[in-house]
Amino acid sequence: MKYDQARWTNGDDCYEPLLTEKRSEDVAVESTESELPADLTRESLSLPALSEPELARHYTRLSEMNYGIENGPFPLGSCTMKYNPSFTEDVAALPAGAVHPDRSSDSVQGTLELMYRLQEYLERIGGMDAVTLQPPAGAAGEFTGILVAKAYHEAHGNDRNEVLVPDSAHGTNFATAALAGYDVVSLPSAEDGRVDLDALSAAVSDDTAALMLTNPNTLGLFERDITEIADIVHDAGGLLYYDGANLNALLGRARPGDMGFDVMHYNVHKTFATPHGGGGPGAGPVGVVDELEEFLPEPRVEQTDDGFELFSPERTIGRVHGYQGNWLVLVKTYAYIARLGDAGLTDASAKAVLNANYLASQIEYDIPFDPFHHEFVASADMDAASVAKRMLDHGVHPPTTKWPEAVDEALMTEPTEIENQRTLDQLAHAFNAVAAESEETVESAPQRTTARKIDQASAARNPRLSWHALDESDTDT
């Protein structure tokens, strides 16, 4: 299957002009008194002046110049790029969802009840005793979780300054621990790709605040020694942190709390089909066991005899986001979980694992680590980044490349549960077609997309930080 992405041209440049570049009009600004300096005020604004058809065509063209989950499979490993069902958008757009956060609790009982029920859902799914919905993203959830762990140790007089992180962990784990003020100790993986128990035993000490762990890990491997890992960390007085990036593999089948994890974050954009932020709003709820509940951010929602109310935990670390978090993202999360129910969530994890294993069985690449669950890491016999770019020419989005480093020229692949066999076969065909092509063909890719191959080193060193920089460069895009 070949794929031609839209390539709209404007003279010699391949880009769709801005709305104001197409046609604009100066609109007078009503004169009002302002404390702003004169050089920061204007008497008129230049605004787009387009008809509705022109506007619709503009955004349609932009969508045709891009690749998204509505175009085809998007198997970015560890990112869990699910299709976001439109019914959750419909629910979030209901007029009742437009609630001003400063309204009194007695006037937003429905809002608070939804939040309370979502807390309960997530507690049950994760095997946690309490959940905060406030963090606005997965990385923010990580940071919140580690701050909670830090507050717990400080409250108990424990002077601990290290966080252990496996070498295959997400980069955010290392950054989170460092940002929270900890020294980061990287743990080498064992030959089977899992946690090296001897290395862990040697690394833990009275300085260990926590071990941050993903299970299944980034190779898609379940940490079979998880209870022993938990015992090693707990015996040293540390806490076990669960990175929820791969929770999609476990829904309805295993719970981090039952494995011995003390604190975790949930990536609702990965596991529960809310949109990936793209720099915009997300949500990264955090769950904890009983001993850590009093340190959670404020406010949380509780149920009383009079209804639902906001309250502050006794030793709260304070706010980590404005108000009660990104409310409409949480509405989408609730709607997704409620629609699928227990059986649907369990079915999702089963199909996620099945799809990954089926796809792996159909591609002609070495996969050095198994048995894997919802994702696998294949090894390309040429530059993985070039393979990824060439896959775009075959009509599919490529997997994650070059990571984890335990696999040479890694192609980290996660089809998720949303794809059917026909789409998985399409993905397999793209993998295998690229493997059969000459290195010269692959290295010149992509050829059939809006943007052609660029010099990545130059792009990183000399980024175009404004749209108009296109006019200032002779580089072919």
Per-residue pLDDT of 383-433, as tens digits, reads: 999 999 999 999 999 999 999 999 999 999 999 999 999 999 999 999 999
What's the domain range around 131? 87-339
Q: Is the pLDDT of residue 11 over 60?
A: no
Rounded average pLDDT over 294-305: 96
228 sits in which H/E element: helix 226-235
- Greatest alpha-carbon span in the chain: 72
Residue 142 lies in a domain: yes
Cα distances (Å, whole numbers) of residue 219 to 241, 311, 360, 369: 18, 40, 13, 7
For position 137, what pLDDT does the model report? 92
Q: Is the pLDDT of residue 238 over 80?
A: yes
Residue 139 lies in a domain: yes
Q: Is the pLDDT of residue 121 over 80?
A: yes
Number of domains forming the structure of the chain: 1
| pLDDT mean across residues, the chain | 93
Q: Is the pLDDT of residue 70 over 90?
A: no
Q: Which of the pair, 455 or 243, is modelled with greater confidence?
A: 243
Residue 360 lies in a domain: no
Task: Of 321, 265, 302, give the one whose Cα is nearest residue 148.
Answer: 265
* DSSP bridge pairs for 25: 47
Q: Which of the pair, 36 or 476, is modelled with greater confidence?
A: 36
Per-residue pLDDT of 89-110, as tens digits, reads: 999 999 999 999 899 999 999 9
For position 475, what pLDDT does the model report? 47
For position 383, what pLDDT does the model report? 96
State whether the Cα torsion 293-294-297-299 is positive or negative: positive
Q: What CATH number is attached to the domain comprising 220?
A: 3.40.640.10
Compute the residue count for the chain: 477
Residue 204 lies in a domain: yes
CA atoms within 13 A on the CB side of 316: 14
| Token pair 């065909």 in the structure block, residue | 429
Residue 348 lies in a domain: no
Residue 155 lies in a domain: yes
Per-residue pLDDT of 12-36, as tens digits, reads: 556 788 898 889 999 988 877 888 8
Per-residue pLDDT of 160-199, as tens digits, reads: 999 999 998 998 999 999 999 999 999 999 999 999 999 9
Residue 127: partners with Cβ closer than 8 Å, 6 or more residues away: 255, 256, 257, 258, 259, 261
* DSSP bridge pairs for 308: 303
Per-residue pLDDT of 364-377, as tens digits, reads: 999 999 999 999 99
Rounded average pLDDT over 291-315: 96
Per-residue pLDDT of 122-151, as tens digits, reads: 999 999 999 999 999 999 999 999 999 999
Q: Whole-model pTM above 0.85?
A: yes
For position 473, what pLDDT does the model report? 54
Confidence band for 80, pLDDT divided at 50, 70 and 90? very high
For position 53, what pLDDT does the model report? 96
Rounded average pLDDT over 261-270: 97
Distance CA 253, CA 257 (A): 12
Rounded average pLDDT over 103-124: 97
Tokens of 299: 């406010």
Residue 297 lies in a domain: yes
State whether the Cα torsion 84-85-90-91 is positive or negative: negative
Residue 212 lies in a domain: yes
